[in-house]
Amino acid sequence: MISKIINMAERIKDAEDRLLEALFESASVADDGFSVTVVRKIKRRLWVRRLTLPTAAIIGGAIAFKPLSGVVAALSGLASLLPTDTFSMATSAIPQLQSIQLETIVLGAILLAVGLFSVRMLED
Amino acid sequence: MSSSEDRDLVARAVSGQDTAAFGELVRRHQSHVRNFLRKLAGDHTLADDLAQDCFMHAWDKLHTFSGRGSFIGWLLKVAYTTFLQSKRKSKRYAEILESAGHVADQESRSTVLPSDEVTDLDKFLAVLTTEERAIMVMSYACGLSHREIGDATDMPVGTVKSVIFRGKQKIRNSFDIKDHQHG
């Protein structure tokens, strides 16, 4: 009710209001390809966004490959320093584990972390 | 231009990133937005560039449109924000130029129209501040209600009314409206 009264009050215009309305009135602007340009820009931006993450992942992966393989090699070197008894005791419960290389486990963990992070980024 | 159709198009554009639905929204409202920015900026080329930026921002923020008010009201809010941001940027740019020893009259140069293109409306708008101009244009050119203008400018309805009153008074004091009215 109150909003209706407010709207009615707004609609009551004096001569000055009508004059201002007539002055402010302007012909509608022809589209002339404006909307097409906007949509084209948006599509381009969508493509750029879609391509950014995979491209960054590929470039990042390529850059990180060498240092990562160095880390994996260093970790496997560290593992060899561990007393063999400790490792064999830990894995003796599951004999299949002994056959799995430590490097594979580390690499798998890194890939899993990167994968989860990428999925999270894509969701965002 | 039905507001329910606008809401449907917004829903389609938001849910499926449907650029065709958004394109339809642009086609429907480009004239209002461009006219609003042309009156605000006083420069058609600059206004059309700002209108493009406005629609790009609108695409990014479309999910924030609650559907409570009209879509054109929301769009003019985005347009007004885009205009203010651009004005701030050009002011900063002018300050940098000035500090570097250049004469900084970029902004004034871009808003001045050739004397033969200056209309009565341009003369009226020239006596108003940016805020008054925006509100007067929203009210008299775009037909927005005081509430919609309040939403668009983040102002209470009472303030909107007093700005319009002040704007009208300025125009009245600067020009003889009655003489103008009778030719």
Number of C-alpha atoms within 13 angstroms, CB side, residue A68? 15
Length of chain B: 183
Six token digits for residue B179: 């003489």
Number of C-alpha atoms within 13 angstroms, CB side, residue B7? 8
The phi, psi pair for B155, rounded to 5°, reads: -130, 150
The answer to whether residue A60 scores a pLDDT higher than 50 is yes
Between chains, do A26 and B35 touch, taking CB under 8 Å as contact? yes
Q: Would you report the helix, strand and coil content of chain A in percent, each value rounded to 5? A: 85, 0, 15
User: Distance, in angstroms, between B56 CA and closest chain A CA?
Assistant: 7
Q: Give which of B148, B25, B153 is closest to B78, Cα–Cα.
A: B153
Q: Which domains does chain B have, with CATH numbers?
A: 3-176 (1.20.140.160)
d(CA A23, CA A19): 6
Cα B34 to its chain centre, rounded Å, is: 8
pLDDT band at B57 (very low <50, low <70, confident <90, very high): very high
Six token digits for residue A50: 């879609």
pLDDT band at B85 (very low <50, low <70, confident <90, very high): very high
Which is higher by pLDDT, A26 or B83?
B83
| Number of CB pairs, chain A paired with chain B, less than 8 A apart | 79
pLDDT of B111: 47
Q: Which amino acid appears at position B168 of this protein?
A: K
d(CA A68, CA B99): 49
Interface confidence, given as ipTM, is: 0.73
Question: What pTM, to 2 d.p., does this model score?
Answer: 0.67
User: Distance, in angstroms, between A120 CA and closest chain B CA?
Assistant: 19
Which is higher by pLDDT, B147 or A10?
B147
Residues 6+ apart with CB under 8 A from B110: B41, B43, B46, B90
Lowest-pLDDT choice from A21-25, B82-86, B113-117: B113-117
DSSP labels, B85-102: HHHHHHHHHHHHHHHTT-
Chain A residue at shortest CA distance from B164: A17
pLDDT band at B183 (very low <50, low <70, confident <90, very high): very low
pLDDT band at A116 (very low <50, low <70, confident <90, very high): confident
The answer to whether residue B108 scores a pLDDT higher than 50 is no
Which is higher by pLDDT, A102 or B1?
A102
User: Of all residues in chain B, what percent carry a pLDDT higher than 70?
Assistant: 85
Per-residue pLDDT, averaged over A29-51, amounts to: 90
Between chains, do A31 and B27 touch, taking CB under 8 Å as contact? yes
The answer to whether residue A6 scores a pLDDT higher than 90 is no
Chain A residue at shortest CA distance from B157: A6
The answer to whether residue B89 scores a pLDDT higher than 80 is yes
The residues spanned by each domain of chain A are 2-123
What is the average pLDDT score of chain A? Answer: 75
Residues 6+ apart with CB under 8 A from B13: B19, B21, B22, B25, B59, B62
d(CA B36, CA B141): 8
d(CA A23, CA B119): 10
Per-residue pLDDT, averaged over B135-146, amounts to: 90
